[in-house]
Structure 1
Amino acid sequence: MAKKIKQGVSPAMRRTKGEKVYNVFNIIFFLLFAFICVYPFYYLIVNSFSDNNASAAGEVMWWFKGFHLENYKNVLALDGLATAAWISVARTVIGTVLTVLASAYLGFMFTQQKMWHRAFWYRFVVITMYFNAGLIPMFITMKNLHLTNNFWVYILPAVVQPFNIILVKTFIESIPPSLQEAAEMDGAGTLTVFTRIVLPMCTPILATVGIFSAVGQWNSFQDTLIYMTDSKLYSLQYVLYTYINQANALAASVRASTGSAVNVAALATQQTPTSIRMTVSVIVVLPILFVYPFFQRFFVKGMMLGAVKG
């Protein structure tokens, strides 16, 4: 009976020895690849919770040694950290929302044949991907616009992103045009078509754009370095970046720093530069890492764009 069942198996369902060996090596390869991607984050977390001396000596590799929470307690007690965290959260949320809306609207308009000089404006936006005025002209422009030492310097320059607009435009072009034509026959205007028809169907690509924008806003610290001198507008990444530099040169930071940096010096004497780097890195990485799983399914769909068109 078993022999008959075996003979009845479709040839398409049978696997040769070569295919089985390939599958085994394929699984092993991707497991190793996943391990290589995950282990750096695991290493940071384990070292940030472990004994500081053991971490500095490189003895913490796979599991905690001397588990404690003092690193996070001391780092979170730093003066100005709460304000910096609020600035980073605000710029991430506001910047992401505005970037997504701008990308969605411009991507939609660039698909409309009735848009005035559509091809010219589309090329005008895309060409900015390849040419940049440079740091000094950008700083002069921001200063003339009174955006230095201004929260909106974090938001406005990043609202229009050509790459995101191209993604949205390509996605919208995969939507059947008959939907828009039917809505226009019923009396819907351009804005109504955008908000009622196109926007709800663009959830996957807008989630993709949202992830790109949120990660970029959260991780950015160079704009703080260039445009900000007011410590009340420092982003979390810049504050922690400064703190890491102070941890790497404790003696110099104690002599050169003033004011609130006294707390930094006191903290650094209790910890090692290695534990400081680990703790700060985890604080910076974990928030945005928790956001990604909620958008993952939309992200995968969005990156497929118009791979399958009806």
Structure 2
Amino acid sequence: MPGGEPVWLDNCEDMDLDYLFGFVEAYIFSPPDMKRPFLLYRTSKNTLIFPTGEFVGVYYSKELKYAKTIGYQVTPLCGCIIQKMDPCSPFKDFVTMLSIERIKAKKKGNESQAYVYKLLMNSLYKRFGINPQTSLIEICNYQRYLKLIQTYGFVDADKLNDSYYIVNYKTSTERNPDIEWKPPKIAAVQLAVEITACARIHMYPYISREDCHYIDINSILIIGRLLDEVISSTKLGKLKLEYASYDTIYVAAKNYCFFKEGHVDVIKHKGLTKELVTLDWY
């Protein structure tokens, strides 16, 4: 995992990508005939796409190295180079302990405790990538009120009485001066990026399969079968088989159903109308 003091490097065109570790801005060429592109790109309209052709973006070095192995052409331009942490997996023991305790709780039928362990595991990396922009609500006097409503992060305010006001504002916004920039002290974005990047690399061989018809944050739906050696409901890093031999209808993201004669229908529908959706609707 990345750690230590970052070093900025310009003019990396002649450097070997294999010797770079950190966050690299690179010129990328993706083969036009690639059916399932690997590298994502955020457009000017803030939309994530998986493009082919030529583009420039900032990526974690491990992603760029993997992209080269599947046909991408990558030319480093500049980047923030970071040291490798020792040990390289600082949370291995912690996450392993949570996984073991979750399995014990499920065996005992304690679903609430098992759910807490699941949340702790899932939210670990997210906590390091927390958004530095924070919403605050402050009750203050008139002088403080006048100051807050002129800040870049001001949202709204109300008068409580003749002496006090309640003000809603944001700190550490993009427009705040550097002197007012106060990101969370326990944030470490580079760790969150490492984990999500490695997860994308790990999942790509499954996502790029011809028989993969749907993907979610942590799941895939395929027509074929996976090797038994990659499936386990208890081992970390392996895939859990949830459903098999079901007919399926996909409508949109987080909106699909499974059904099989003699079995309970499985309906996945995110939104306020979830309780109204039935198999007949599909």
* Range into which the TM-score falls when normalised by the shorter chain: under 0.3
**Richer in strand (by share):** 2
* TM-score, L = length of structure 2: 0.24
* TM-score, L = length of structure 1: 0.23
- Of structures 1 and 2, the one with the larger relative CO (CA 8 A, separation 6+) is 1
Structure of higher CA gyration radius: 1
**Richer in helix (by share):** 1
